[in-house]
């Protein structure tokens, strides 16, 4: 049997050879292998935590790493500032010595300037890849921007500039100091209803439908999203779920900065916590972590790698959503 490693691009839309990845997939050995997910760095990165997450991922000796999005603070309206921020982050990924595949997040793609810079540097915003008998669908949930007023965008950019000058500052404190009485506190109060606004596109699902048909022999499929699209009524995402219904799959997202697993259709829908990002919600899932994935016999085994304090590991069972579970807004 041929051990496949394929990067799959939507050639009906993209003609560029650029892509949001660093390094090449290694040649599959056949059988078992390991990889890792890293999550959100942004919304006011905790100094050094993302770098700690990268090192923890590298120590796992994975075949590759998948980022679930939001690697830069972003929301720039000046392309030069957007480039400068990517110029600080991209070398961390490129120099890791492990292939890294990126999912686009709202901070990465949240303004017209950020979109232009992404396209210039990384080319495409959705794609797929196959590694041996596992398929990865990397989607873009940011095809329409989150609704942010101009005054709030300017405030975010001012706070970002302060963070660049003083990386150990706290974003929430900076926002509070800069806003004064200009922006009401409730504008920064987070809850899932206001935070989650996934926007996929039909052209992505058309592409994924072709990819799924061409790779019907895989053992497992991972759907990588930035925003947890299953938490809002979304006919486009529901169409993708119907395409997947006859095969084993796992959905992995980020965005909310709170680790939570939803059991749906007999599958796991994993909303990762954060890998250096802003504290948003109180509760057990409010952790900095990465996710180790060991493919054994064609199925995944997950382990939560904790980054705070003494570190350690945990299982996903402790983060499975139950009817009585609640979260408080930050």
Tell me which residue of 278, 272, 276, 274 sits closest to 260, measured CA to CA. Answer: 272
**Bridge partners (DSSP) listed for residue 266:** none
Q: Tell me, what's the pLDDT at 190? A: 66
Q: Where are the alpha helices (DSSP H) in 5-127?
A: 49-59, 79-94, 106-109, 112-122
Contact 105, 2 (CB under 8 A): no
**Cα–Cα–Cα angle for 74, 76, 79, rounded to 5 degrees:** 115
Contact 259, 287 (CB under 8 A): yes
Tell me which residue of 183, 148, 156 sits closest to 85, measured CA to CA. Answer: 156
Distances (CA, A) of 251 to 48, 111, 258, 270: 28, 26, 15, 6
**Cα–Cα–Cα angle for 239, 245, 249, rounded to 5 degrees:** 105
CA dihedral 22, 105, 249, 133 (to 10 degrees): -10
- 67-80: pLDDT as tens digits: 999 999 999 999 99
In the chain, DSSP assigns E strands to: 5-8, 21-22, 33-38, 65-67, 100-102, 127-131, 134-138, 220-224, 249-253, 260-264, 267-271, 281-282, 289-296, 299-306, 313-314, 328-329
The pLDDT mean for the chain works out to: 91
Q: d(Cα 76, Cα 114) in Å, to the nearest integer?
A: 6
Q: d(Cα 328, Cα 173) in Å, to the nearest integer?
A: 20
Q: Tell me, what's the pLDDT at 182? A: 54
The residues near 177 (Cβ < 8 Å, ≥ 6 apart) are: none
Interstrand relation of 249-253 and 281-282 (parallel, antiparallel or unpaired): unpaired
**14 pLDDT above the threshold of 90:** yes
Compute the 3-state secondary structure of the chain and give helix, strand, coil in percent, each to the nearest 5: 30, 25, 45
**258 pLDDT above the threshold of 90:** yes
Which tokens sit at 5?
A: 């490693």
**170 pLDDT above the threshold of 80:** no
Q: Tell me, what's the pLDDT at 188? A: 53
CATH superfamily of 5-322: Metallo-dependent phosphatases (3.60.21.10)
Q: d(Cα 310, Cα 239) in Å, to the nearest integer?
A: 43
3-state secondary structure of 135: strand
| Section 306-315 average pLDDT | 94
Name the residue with tokens 């965005």.
255
**325 pLDDT above the threshold of 50:** no
Q: Tell me, what's the pLDDT at 180? A: 63
**326 pLDDT above the threshold of 60:** no
**329 pLDDT above the threshold of 50:** no
| Section 109-114 average pLDDT | 96
The residues near 228 (Cβ < 8 Å, ≥ 6 apart) are: 196, 198, 253, 255, 256, 269, 271
């Amino acid at each position: 049997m041929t051990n496949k490693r394929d990067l799959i691009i939507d050639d009906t839309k993209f003609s560029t050879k650029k892509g949001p990845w660093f390094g090449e997939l290694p040649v599959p050995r056949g059988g078992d292998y390991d990889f890792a997910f890293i999550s959100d760095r942004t919304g006011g990165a905790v100094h050094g935590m993302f770098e700690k997450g990268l090192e923890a991922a590298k120590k796992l000796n994975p075949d590759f790493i998948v980022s679930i999005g939001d690697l830069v603070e972003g929301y720039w309206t000046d392309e030069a500032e957007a480039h400068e921020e990517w110029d600080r982050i991209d070398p961390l990924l490129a120099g890791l010595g492990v292939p890294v595949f990126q999912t686009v997040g709202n901070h990465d793609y949240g303004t017209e300037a950020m979109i232009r810079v992404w396209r210039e540097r990384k080319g495409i915003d959705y794609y797929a890849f196959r590694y041996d008998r596992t398929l990865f669908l990397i989607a873009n949930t940011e095809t329409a921007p989150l609704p942010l007023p101009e005054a709030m965008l300017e405030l975010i950019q001012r706070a970002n500039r302060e963070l660049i000058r003083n990386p150990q500052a706290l974003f929430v404190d900076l926002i509070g100091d800069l806003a004064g009485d200009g922006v009401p506190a409730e504008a920064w109060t987070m809850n899932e209803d206001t935070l989650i606004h996934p926007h996929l596109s039909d052209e992505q699902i058309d592409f994924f439908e072709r990819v799924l048909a061409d790779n019907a022999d895989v053992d497992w499929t991972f759907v990588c999203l930035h925003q947890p699209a299953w938490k809002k009524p979304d006919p486009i995402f529901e169409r993708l779920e119907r395409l997947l219904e006859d095969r084993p799959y796992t959905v992995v997202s980020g965005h909310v900065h709170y680790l939570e697993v939803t059991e749906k259709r007999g599958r796991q829908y994993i909303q990762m916590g954060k890998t250096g990002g802003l504290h948003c919600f109180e509760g057990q899932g409010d952790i900095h972590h990465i996710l180790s994935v060991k493919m054994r016999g064609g199925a995944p085994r997950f382990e939560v790698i904790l980054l705070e304090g003494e570190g350690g590991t945990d299982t996903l069972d402790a983060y499975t959503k139950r009817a009585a579970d609640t979260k408080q807004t930050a």
